[in-house]
A = this chain, B = another copy of it.
Amino acid sequence: MTDTRVDGRVLRGERTRRAIIERAMDIASVDGLDGLSIGRLATDLDVSKSGVITHFGSKEELQLATVRAAVEVFTQHVVRPALEAPAGMQRLWRLCELWLDYERGIFPGGCFFANVAAEFDARPGRVRDAIAQSQLDFRALFERLIARAAEVGDLPADVDAAQLTFELKALGTSANGEFLLYDEPAAYDRARAAMLARLRGLATDPSLLPLS
């Protein structure tokens, strides 16, 4: 009886924590991590301020938890499904496509990371470090998939993985920014077309890639 009640409380606490984080990710994708306030979250979710503070302590902890949760969302929608494609060019291209889909489809303010990276890039501290790490992990994933594509012979053995990663990431990141700033869905098409042209130009077997 007591155990059940305790479990219920733990579960409700976990649900509240989850609801706060979901709302925090949506807010941060539009207004940035500075847009998160304990008061705003409490009002939006109809919980007490002390309820929010119990879960996260400080604003910085809340910001860090929000970044971690966004990494999980990204892993679930982009990284894991990309890794299900056959190793090599197909996996690399799947990553590009899923990333563009995520930018368009998941958060109200477009890519969570693009927004908070620009917000914190010049502001040293734990939040910047967490954001930078998430971006370094994504970059490392791109580089690994490019190296693997070279290993299986889908890309030339001497491909510069760091340079190609920079270029593909630049295109995808800019699509997000231009779409949001100008309400221009064409930015995603431009990014996709440029990524595809770049990869087709390098591929040993372009037929592994779509024609357009």
Contact = CB atoms under 8 A, between A and B. Distances in A.
Q: In the complex this chain forms, how many copies of it are found?
A: 2
| Chain A interface main SS type | helix
A173 interface: yes
A114, A163, A167, A194 pick with most chain B CB within 10 angstroms: A167
Interface of A: 29-32, 34, 108-110, 114-115, 117-119, 121-123, 128, 131-132, 135-136, 162-163, 166-167, 169-171, 173-175, 177-178, 180-182, 187, 190-191, 193-194
11 contacts: A30-B122, A32-B34, A108-B122, A109-B122, A135-B181, A163-B193, A163-B194, A166-B178, A166-B190, A170-B173, A173-B173
A-B complex: 7 closest residue pairs judged by Cβ atoms: A118-B118, A170-B174, A121-B180, A109-B122, A166-B190, A121-B181, A30-B122
